A and B are shown apart, each in its own frame.
Chain A
Amino acid sequence: MKLDARVPSGPLPQKWENFKKDQKLVNPANKRKFRVLVVGTGLAGGAAAATLAELGYEVLAFCFQDSPRRAHSIAAQGGINAAKNYQNDGDSVWRLFYDTIKGGDFRARESNVHRLAEVSVNIIDQCVAQGVPFAREYGGLLENRSFGGAQVSRTFYCRGQTGQQLLLGAYQALSRQIHAGQVKMFPRTEMLDLVVIDGRARGIVVRHLESGKVESFAGDAVLLATGGYSNLYYLSTNAQGCNVTATYRAYKRGAAFANPCYTQIHPTCIPVSGDHQSKLTLMSESLRNDGRVWVPKDPTDVGKHPNDIPDANRDYILERLYPSYGNLAPRDVSSRAAKRVCDEHRGVGPGGRGVYLDFADAIRRQGEPKIRAKYGNLFDMYQRITAENAYQRPMRIYPALHYTMGGLWVDYHLMSNIDGLFVLGEANFSDHGANRLGASALMQGLADGYFVIPYTLGNYFASTKQDRRSADASEFKAVEAEVTGQVKRLLSVNGKRPASEFHRELGKVIWDNVGMSRTKQSCEAAVSKIRGLREEFWQTVSVPGTADNLNVALERAGRVADFLEFGELLATDALLRNESCGGHFREEYQYPDGEAKRDDEHYTHAAAFEYQGDDKPPTRHQEPLNYETVKPAVRSYK
């Protein structure tokens, strides 16, 4: 397998300029001759579909939800970063770039990250023009707040619903193109396979969820913007429908899967309350601007009412451990700190898995109305779920799976190792290294969709001979037959156990063994347990009903079946990366104070896995990460 990142020449700040200078263009009149298949309509997919249609390409867009407006990007709360330096506080493209590289623990590709920081400023302008109601100062200018891992205020936000507003902006742009006939939209349609002919991605095979019909679509390029795989852990902050199927099936067709073990555990989620729970709810990181994280110093105090514990007996863990970043230490660092104190039996709440996030000081300093204005909807959400009033007593929070930095390998052009297969947003691996900073996911999704793919895809079309196949070609029919075969197989097991039960068990195995911390033994244990579970699944899963109508149990079972294979790949990657970096914390590799210990000499590379067959281990390829501009250093937030 050839992993050529195709990074343009020149010094880092000129690379994107050089790319644009050298790129080949498609004549406006010829654009309509190219058909682009966009899978997923979140920030990356929605923005890409709208923008490509505006340029004149024929776009077919697919999503499994009942409307493109419901993609999971909608749930992002806190904000979006951009190097605007509106606050005059020392921000710059360079600083956003450096913070992101450092936040990613020096495991991301420099050139991609720099481009991300460059286009970040255009995103804000674009969204404002669309009518996204970003928060404003009284003078009418845009307001900013701070997020983890940065010492400047560069986060733009719309109350606690930034993802919703940005997604609606992209959705509205997409709707305009649907109205204009430039985009054909297929909601309630799930991609189940990729068709590769002669080494090029030629189209996809989907299942229409309402009719159950399996159908092929051919195009000149396939764009996957299908999000991340946090739901492998069963309990995560992701929406119920989020799944790995599209990217995993592409992997089985030859696309390299990079760094699956890089997963992000978000420090501020509402703790688990019982076995019945179907998801975890995130409390935006922005709360850490005003909230102070603490636990009792003495384990015997954990049962006491928090307001009865005097300041002297509290341990403000992040302020103590990371004085220069304090409560705004990055996510991986903060999560591990919370885990550590809970392991010391100082955790609070049911099961002892929780730490306090206390607003009392902020309320005293700024008054309750100000806090209510900033975070009111989050406090309401917290109260609704826990029946506790966070204005009167501290919130309880605990880390939960939130985002996955790993994904399909892509080059600088966002193209995977399969010609014509592009991967955008959370579904790719490129920009966040081993840990993502807050408010950077929205930035990356929109950067990829609005400002990167329109350039790189045009260059691909202009420099490649057009050779579209028919969806009736025998190769398409063969893949359709495989997809139909898998559906039939699921329906014919006739077991007694719902797929959700396997999902819950799988999630527990993964969380316990390849979660916030990992060891060689735990990764090996995970692999063997997953294999057992997978075998059991195919013998005892219950999928009643038929394939020719809306069958929710069938959809779920198909997604769980893919998770049951993908989990093994994630554990394998975690096992083979013998270092700690970002969200990947191997207990064997740490400094005496518990901080992650990287091994730059042996692991300054992206690990990209190539599928070899169901019963063979995948091949691990390496893309060396050449740090030409930044010097990897010990990542300190002290």
Chain B
Amino acid sequence: MKFTLHIWRQANRTAPGRMETHAIDGITGDMSFLEMIDLLNEKLLREGKEAIAFDHDCREGICGSCSMMIDGQAHGPERGAATCQLHMRSFADGADIIVEPWRVGAFPVIRDLSVDRGAFDRIIQSGGYVSVNTGGTPDGNALPVPKPHQERAMDAAECIGCGACAAACPNASAMLFVSAKVGHLGALPQGQAERSERAKNMVAAHDREGFGHCTFYGECEAACPKSISTEYITQLNSDYLASAAKAVVKG
């Protein structure tokens, strides 16, 4: 198979970027999208040109490093898959493919297809945890957790923190990411003590980072490599309102 790739190149955070076109040949259907970029990079290096920077690590869809807009879709055309799990058999031979980094103000481009997702770390730091120190915890079976609650927690906990939700959202809102953590911990008894504070603090951190508001387009769920449901956003809204109501009552 052969393709014409139009790829975003940008030297650093402040330099202006531009699209660069590369023709590539000798691709097979069982190659992953990233393996195709590897091949292109090897070609560039042989010509003494700089390789295209892109984030990637585990290449099995779990680390959440990869972050490419492919033909305008976060992680490309395949549903429920990260870029590293996308195979070239999903594209028509001879196609033109446009590859860009996440386009979200809160994720500044640091080079080519690499972006800074520190905002997600800061959102978690604002309250995406259960405040327990190591040691002195009760026996794992001391508190039974109904299986449906555990399943609900797990469905949300699968979030890989890649940022596709924000990249796909017309408002650049990362509410699916926030709601996944709030929903994971909120579904478990261990997460109840801080439930209301967590929702409030994480939403505030999300807004501080410059992400947009959620208006329920639903693009996030469609782009999410883990297919996390927008149902968790509904739950988040309810937790958030409860926490706001509490604040009012407290005066």
Q: Which residues of B contact A552 (CB under 8 A)?
A: 41, 51-54
Q: Could you tell me the distance between the alpha carbons of A545 and B158 in the complex, rounded to whole angstroms?
A: 38
Q: Decide if B154 touches A158 in the complex (CB within 8 Å).
A: yes
Q: Decide if B134 touches A450 in the complex (CB within 8 Å).
A: yes
Q: Decide if A126 touches B61 in the complex (CB within 8 Å).
A: no
Q: Decide if A69 touches B35 in the complex (CB within 8 Å).
A: no
Q: Which residues in window 144-195 of A have CB below 8 A to B?
A: 158-159, 161, 163-165, 168, 171-173, 175-176, 178-179, 185, 187
Q: Could you tell me the distance between the alpha carbons of A126 and B30 in the complex, rounded to whole angstroms?
A: 42
Q: Which residues in window 24-56 of B have CB below 8 A to A?
A: 28, 30-32, 34-35, 38-39, 41-42, 45-46, 48-56
Q: Which of B48, B52, B57 contacts A542 (CB 8 A)?
A: B48
Q: Which residues of A contact B131 (CB under 8 A)?
A: 176
Q: Which residues of B contact A381 (CB under 8 A)?
A: 60-61, 85
Which of the candidate stretches A274-282, A306-314, A589-597 sits at the interface with the other chain? A274-282
Q: Which residues in window 82-129 of B have CB below 8 A to A?
A: 85, 87, 89, 110-111, 114, 116-118, 120-121, 124-126, 128-129
Q: Decide if B63 touches A133 in the complex (CB within 8 Å).
A: no
Q: Decide if A66 touches B45 in the complex (CB within 8 Å).
A: no
Q: Decide if B111 touches A549 in the complex (CB within 8 Å).
A: yes
Q: Which residues of B contact A179 (CB under 8 A)?
A: 125-126
Q: Which residue of chain A has its CB nearest to the CB of B186?
A: A131
Q: Decide if B147 touches A66 in the complex (CB within 8 Å).
A: no
Q: Could you tell me the distance between the alpha carbons of A158 and B51 in the complex, rounded to whole angstroms?
A: 38
Q: Decide if A130 touches B190 in the complex (CB within 8 Å).
A: yes
Is B248 engaged at the interface, CB distance under 8 Å to the other chain?
no
> Which of the listed residues A185, A239, A385 has the most CB atoms from chain B within 10 Å of its own CB?
A239
Asked whether A500 and B38 contact (CB < 8 A) given A129-B137, A381-B61, the answer is: yes
Q: Which residue of chain A has its CB nearest to the CB of B64?
A: A70
Q: Which residue of chain B has its CB nearest to the CB of A282?
A: B60
Asked whether A70 and B125 contact (CB < 8 A) given A131-B185, A550-B110, the answer is: no
Which of the candidate stretches B138-146, B208-216, B228-236, B239-247 sits at the interface with the other chain? B138-146
Q: Could you tell me the distance between the alpha carbons of A497 and B48 in the complex, rounded to whole angstroms?
A: 9
Is A613 engaged at the interface, CB distance under 8 Å to the other chain?
no
Is B21 engaged at the interface, CB distance under 8 Å to the other chain?
no
Asked whether A497 and B46 contact (CB < 8 A) given A168-B157, A175-B128, the answer is: yes
Q: Could you tell me the distance between the alpha carbons of A168 and B65 in the complex, rounded to whole angstroms?
A: 15
Q: Could you tell me the distance between the alpha carbons of A121 and B181 in the complex, rounded to whole angstroms?
A: 26
Q: Which residues of A contact B128 (CB under 8 A)?
A: 172, 175
Q: Which residues of B contact A450 (CB under 8 A)?
A: 134-135
Is A489 engaged at the interface, CB distance under 8 Å to the other chain?
no
Q: Decide if B190 touches A276 in the complex (CB within 8 Å).
A: no
Q: Which residues in window 34-80 of A have CB below 8 A to B?
A: 47, 50-51, 54, 65-70, 72, 74-75
Q: Decide if B137 touches A74 in the complex (CB within 8 Å).
A: no
Q: Which of B63, B114, B121 contacts A75 (CB 8 A)?
A: B63
Q: Decide if B85 touches A140 in the complex (CB within 8 Å).
A: no
Is A128 engaged at the interface, CB distance under 8 Å to the other chain?
yes
Q: Could you tell me the distance between the alpha carbons of A553 and B111 in the complex, rounded to whole angstroms?
A: 13
Asked whether A545 and B58 contact (CB < 8 A) given A51-B134, A276-B39, A451-B134, the answer is: no
Is B5 engaged at the interface, CB distance under 8 Å to the other chain?
no
Q: Decide if A142 touches B147 in the complex (CB within 8 Å).
A: no
Q: Which of B28, B65, B144 contacts A140 (CB 8 A)?
A: B144
Asked whether A66 and B137 contact (CB < 8 A) given A141-B144, A278-B59, the answer is: no
Q: For the complex formed, measure the closest distance between the CB of B209 and the CB atoms of chain A, giving whole angstroms.
A: 14
Q: Which of A140, A451, A544 contacts B49 (CB 8 A)?
A: A544
Q: Decide if A210 touches B110 in the complex (CB within 8 Å).
A: yes
Asked whether A239 and B59 contact (CB < 8 A) given A70-B65, A179-B125, A553-B51, the answer is: yes
Q: Decide if A240 touches B57 in the complex (CB within 8 Å).
A: yes
Asked whether A140 and B190 contact (CB < 8 A) given A69-B121, A129-B137, the answer is: no
Q: Which residues of A contact B45 (CB under 8 A)?
A: 497-498, 542-544, 553
Asked whether A133 and B147 contact (CB < 8 A) given A158-B154, A175-B125, A240-B57, the answer is: no
Q: Decide if A187 touches B118 in the complex (CB within 8 Å).
A: yes
Asked whether A276 and B28 contact (CB < 8 A) given A75-B63, A179-B125, A545-B50, the answer is: yes
Q: Decide if A175 touches B121 in the complex (CB within 8 Å).
A: yes
Q: Which residues of A contact B141 (CB under 8 A)?
A: 86, 141-142
Is A551 engaged at the interface, CB distance under 8 Å to the other chain?
yes
Q: Which residue of chain B has its CB nearest to the CB of A68?
A: B121
Q: Decide if B157 touches A67 in the complex (CB within 8 Å).
A: no
Q: For the complex formed, measure the closest distance between the CB of A92 and the CB atoms of chain B, giving whole angstroms.
A: 16
Q: Which residues of B contact A129 (CB under 8 A)?
A: 130, 132, 137-138, 190
Q: Decide if A131 touches B188 in the complex (CB within 8 Å).
A: yes
Q: Decide if B48 touches A130 in the complex (CB within 8 Å).
A: no
Q: For the complex formed, measure the closest distance between the CB of B73 and the CB atoms of chain A, giving whole angstroms.
A: 17
Q: Could you tell me the distance between the alpha carbons of A542 and B46 in the complex, rounded to whole angstroms?
A: 7
Q: Could you tell me the distance between the alpha carbons of A281 and B32 in the complex, rounded to whole angstroms?
A: 12
Q: Which residue of chain B has its CB nearest to the CB of A47?
A: B134
Q: Which residues of A contact B124 (CB under 8 A)?
A: 69, 171-172, 175
Is B175 engaged at the interface, CB distance under 8 Å to the other chain?
no
Q: Could you tell me the distance between the alpha carbons of A127 and B50 in the complex, rounded to whole angstroms?
A: 44
Q: Which residues of B contact A185 (CB under 8 A)?
A: 121
Q: Which residues of A contact B140 (CB under 8 A)?
A: 84, 124-125, 127-128, 134, 142
Q: Decide if B63 touches A72 in the complex (CB within 8 Å).
A: yes
Q: Decide if A273 touches B30 in the complex (CB within 8 Å).
A: yes
Is B76 engaged at the interface, CB distance under 8 Å to the other chain?
no
Q: Which residue of chain A has its CB nearest to the CB of B46?
A: A496
Q: Which of A384, A501, A553 contacts B50 (CB 8 A)?
A: A553
Q: Which of A66, A163, A273 contacts B117 (CB 8 A)?
A: A66
Q: Which residue of chain B has its CB nearest to the CB of A179?
A: B125
Q: Could you tell me the distance between the alpha carbons of A277 and B185 in the complex, rounded to whole angstroms?
A: 38
Asked whether A176 and B87 contact (CB < 8 A) given A84-B140, A131-B191, A496-B48, the answer is: no
Q: Could you tell me the distance between the alpha carbons of A63 and B143 in the complex, rounded to whole angstroms?
A: 35
Q: Could you tell me the distance between the alpha carbons of A387 and B28 in the complex, rounded to whole angstroms?
A: 14
Q: Which residues of A contact B145 (CB under 8 A)?
A: 136, 140
Q: Decide if A75 touches B62 in the complex (CB within 8 Å).
A: yes
Q: For the complex formed, measure the closest distance between the CB of B184 and the CB atoms of chain A, giving whole angstroms.
A: 7
Q: Which residues of A contact B39 (CB under 8 A)?
A: 276
Q: Which residues of B contact A279 (CB under 8 A)?
A: 59-60
Q: Which residues of B contact A51 (CB under 8 A)?
A: 133-134
| A/B interface sample: 24 pairs, CB < 8 A | A54-B134, A65-B57, A65-B65, A70-B64, A74-B63, A125-B140, A126-B134, A126-B135, A130-B130, A131-B185, A131-B191, A136-B144, A140-B145, A172-B128, A173-B134, A176-B129, A210-B110, A241-B57, A281-B59, A385-B87, A500-B42, A550-B12, A550-B53, A552-B41
**Top 3 closest A-B pairs, CB basis?**
A140-B144, A172-B129, A129-B137
Known: A133-B153, A550-B114. 10 other contacts (CB 8 A): A69-B121, A70-B63, A84-B140, A128-B137, A131-B153, A131-B188, A134-B150, A451-B135, A552-B52, A553-B51
